[in-house]
Structure 1
């Protein structure tokens, strides 16, 4: 009985925390502006489990805290992490997926002012992080995207655009997201 209680508790703890996130390139992390906009509970949830689903992040009803846009993490806390990419440049991503949940995933350029996609996704997976596989395909944790060549003058100012990794675990009904702030260079 004690062994089953131990394993049940261990399994519950493992499923309560740690699902997936991007570890490279640098993603947005919460700071004082995020706490001011979203509240201490939001920042606490974000720092307690950087890999947790959006559904576990409270927004405390704050009108400017949109957890479905970069997890609610504010650009102002991340100005030193803005990456510079050239049109057509290949950008390597590394993901950490300690608890996979099969579902669709993509990386897209997002206009941060409107929370809308700019163009087509840079990469899409119809089936990503399938927990039924003995081992995940390498392209689930290491993949590359090619920066668009048709953005014109879009995404040239810091805070205007981000590359957003978006993954939805279909059976788990959980959403995962990270944002990489960037500017396009000439």
Structure 2
């Protein structure tokens, strides 16, 4: 029985790490002491060895005694915090910011980048860029999916002045493998022309209420191309909410649960193939 259990665990872990990716520029959040204290040593070690990993894989360690669900807040930046000495970018309203994302292994899904209020874990305004068909295993990953620009909004409601209050969060979800990836850039923003931040690029314009999407054929795809088109709405999984909630056949774990209850839930989850579930996957803890 012990050998069978071990084999099952390895198989489940192999499934969870099938696809991954993480921001590379500007410098994103990294695993550190605050992450370890909140999320536990297992998740800290997991992100330290492979920062590209997915949230569902990390949740296999949710039963560890040093895992604090509320403090970890794993559905925000994969639980990573603004660590002491961590990188904080300084932007101005309307500034165009080049972004680089590393797709370490593709799997078809949707993705977007948004300004997130870390206190409420909610999007400020609308996503800055949206990809309806990201890292497709059918068509391949384009350079425009790995290198793209976003524009810092002109109206952030007076927020994002203090380091740690806001992040630029890249969210990528692949229903075909039931995996979700997040990575965050810490930043502050001053008014246009502020001497403490870089001058805005003259061609940049504030983000409108509709998320910009750039689409290559087929029309449903949103891999960036030369021309941006508006979409009706951002993926529901990143709409303002405390956290996205992963679906498990209509069931959910209670706020407190035993290791055995979690194992039973995880087994049920691996047999459920809901393509809508992952888009609402931000309020699990």
TM-score for the superposition, normalised by structure 2: 0.57
The answer for unaligned runs of 5 or more in structure 2 is 1-12, 192-285
Q: Give the Å deviation of 1:34.
A: 1.4
Contact 2:19–2:107 under 8 Å retained in 1: no
Unaligned runs of 5+ in 1: 1-11
Contact in 1 for aligned 2:16/2:179 (Cα 8 Å): no
Partner of 1:48: 49
Q: In 2 relative to 1, CA 132–78 (structure 1 residues): closer, same or farther, beyond 3 Å? A: farther
**Higher alpha-carbon Rg:** 2
Question: Could you say which residue in structure 2 is the equivalent of 1:26?
Answer: 27
After TM superposition, which residue ranges in structure 1, 4 or more long, deviate above 4 angstroms?
Answer: 12-15
Which structure 2 residues correspond to residues 53-92 of structure 1 after superposition, within 5 A? 53-57=54-58, 58-59=61-62, 60=64, 61-62=67-68, 63-75=70-82, 77=83, 79-92=85-98
Deviations 1:54-74 (A, max 9, x none): 111134440211111011112
Q: CA RMSD in A?
A: 1.9
On the 8 A contact 1:45/1:56 being kept in 2, the answer is: no
Report what 1:177 is aligned to: 182
**Could you say if the C-alpha distance between residues 179 and 118 of structure 1 is closer, same or farther in structure 2, counting changes exceeding 3 Å?**
same
SS of equivalent residue, structure 1 residue 157: coil
TM-score normalised by structure 1 residue count:
0.86
Change (3 A) 1:17 1:136: closer
- Deviation, 1:82, is 0.7
Q: How many residues align?
A: 173
CA apart distance, 1:124 = 0.3
- Where is the strand percentage greater, Structure 1 or Structure 2? 1
- Per the alignment, residue 143 of structure 2 pairs with 138
Distance in 2, matches of 1:73 and 1:93, equals 19
